[in-house]
A and B are shown apart, each in its own frame.
Chain A
């Protein structure tokens, strides 16, 4: 009886299964509950926490004092702006080098007449499946001059090690070394996205262009690149967001302090020190300052993501 009347009810709507708003709520509720309680609410509430000082129990409303400290305090702001600047350098390496390599590899790997493309694709992507922590430790070992000097000397490349503390111990080269390892690891992701984008281009366009006498280079810069602008925008956004998320690579290759001398300190490690672990030597976390850091990044991500989204995805 019950089932029948429900079916009848369903059929009264325009298209059998589609009507009945309230009925669907019970299907959405479990997902919504997890998403709200463990992601959306804590994210938004972090904004509120940034206006308080102290830990739970002795929490006190302080207005924008945490932000003032973060941006202007002699000690805190020095660390913040340092990490912020480092993060932009880290980002530049990825944005320029990683995405340029990605486009190059993708252009090569979408040549119909080339053999062994699948094989190369498979190899390029392997590092993306390994934990950053693992690759970080590996490179840390390999970059240790104690170990690598002798094997490098054998093939005449020991001039690459310019100082006894190696690349990771020298404040002038440490950030570059860390960034390059990260680029090495993640280049597979943009490559695959560009491969998918290039494969989506209509063959007729390329054929028409080549009949008109366009050189392969012209076809590449005038037709294939402009056509994949939406994907380029998407990759740029992903690069931007994931860079302010980076933590593991510094943790594995250097220390939580971004050694040597804070030269590899990123927003991720700074956030961990202030918000979660507490600054050495006191060791008491400051959730207020931590939340101020995360809220600033949250705003910055939104400011970076929305214009790129509008500019590159709007034409669809």
Chain B
């Protein structure tokens, strides 16, 4: 009898009802703006005035269709896509090369170089903005995506070097010995042995940089005014003036700019959490 009662109360305790209440409450607060964003993209222009938060009375895809029909929209997306892909590729390529060297070359010089990179994790690159504008002017890359690539690459390298060096250093040394015995050069060891082994760390670095680069407003806002070179986020800043009365359309563009990253996150949330909190907690 007594035992049964005890297991029963334990069972109830293990349901953690107060905890669920807190978490449900916060989940609601966290998701409400997202609901507001997506649900309103399916409403016709006028309905948003009478029905602000609810489901649309008549669902429509009209907002998405008219967005797809405009060619600007594709230009912005292409630009954002290019910026993310090229910057990420370079961060991973250049960063893994350096990490490969720093993990194996153990000397005073290499320690100094390593720390020089790692300090950059603590300092926001925005501090360098004024000088960067002048550098881009000199290079003649203002108003083009080529002003964004090098900044994002530089910005991503400290974390890339930190995470990848630690990771490569943790790999068992015998893996290379075998390659060396077969007479493989260092570069072959790098791309045939090291690269496949460090894939999980590369994924972490990629995600760590993907979100801030896709979502960055600061540098496009400062470097780019030309229509054909704008990123999605920069284009979003002009919405309010442009379609100030057509709120469902504004929300549709906001939704489309957020959708790629949200989708990617939902598909691989574990790696995302690991990636976005990397750099602070080792590994």
Contact = CB atoms under 8 A, between A and B. Distances in A.
B173 A15 contact: yes
B14 A113 contact: yes
B191 to A, nearest CB: 12
Contact of B217 (A34, A131, A241, A242): A131
A129 B259 CA distance: 10
B254 A134 contact: yes
B128 A42 contact: yes
A275 B258 CA distance: 30
Interface stretch (B1-9, B63-71, B195-203, B274-282): B274-282
Contact of B261 (A108, A116, A123, A129): A129
A130 B261 contact: yes
Interface string A285-303: 0010011001101100100
Contacts of A245: 124, 126
Contacts of A126: 30-31, 34, 262, 265
B53 A151 contact: yes
Given A24-B101, A38-B151, A238-B280, A43 B52 contact: no
A120 interface: yes
Chain A interface, DSSP helix/strand/loop, else mixed: helix
Contacts of A184: 29-30
Contacts, number: 268
**Which of the four size classes fits the interface of chain B?**
35 or more
Contacts of B61: none
B17 to A, nearest CB: 10
Contacts of B257: 131, 134
A231 B279 CA distance: 12
B37 interface: yes
Nearest to A286: B130
A121 B272 CA distance: 12
A121 B233 contact: no
Contacts of A58: none
Interface in B82-134: 90, 94-95, 97-98, 100-102, 104-107, 109-110, 113, 116-117, 120, 122-134
Interface string A123-166: 11111111111110111011000011011000000000000000
Nearest to A19: B105
B176 A16 contact: yes
Interface string A98-134: 0001001100110101101000111111111111111
Interface in B240-256: 240, 247, 250, 254
B183 A21 contact: no
Interface string A217-245: 00000000000000100110110011011
10 contacts: A21-B109, A41-B131, A45-B131, A113-B16, A114-B19, A134-B257, A150-B52, A231-B280, A247-B217, A295-B127
Interface of B: 14, 16, 19-20, 22-23, 26-27, 29-31, 33-34, 36-37, 52-53, 90, 94-95, 97-98, 100-102, 104-107, 109-110, 113, 116-117, 120, 122-135, 137, 150-151, 153-155, 157-158, 161, 173, 176-177, 180, 183, 185-186, 189-190, 211, 214-215, 217-218, 222, 233, 236-237, 239-240, 247, 250, 254, 257-258, 261-262, 265-266, 269, 272-273, 276-277, 280-281
Given A28-B113, A42-B128, 14 more contacts: A6-B185, A18-B106, A39-B157, A42-B131, A56-B137, A113-B16, A125-B265, A129-B258, A131-B257, A137-B254, A142-B33, A151-B52, A184-B29, A301-B124
Interface of A: 3-4, 6-7, 10-11, 15-18, 20-21, 23-25, 27-28, 30-32, 34-35, 37-43, 45-46, 49, 56, 101, 104-105, 108-109, 111, 113-114, 116, 120-135, 137-139, 141-142, 147-148, 150-151, 184, 189, 192-193, 196-197, 231, 234-235, 237-238, 241-242, 244-245, 247-248, 251, 268, 271, 275-276, 287, 290-291, 294-295, 297-298, 301, 305
Going nearest first, the 10 A-B pairs with the smallest beta carbon separation are: A42-B131, A27-B101, A42-B128, A38-B154, A31-B98, A131-B215, A24-B101, A39-B154, A24-B105, A43-B128
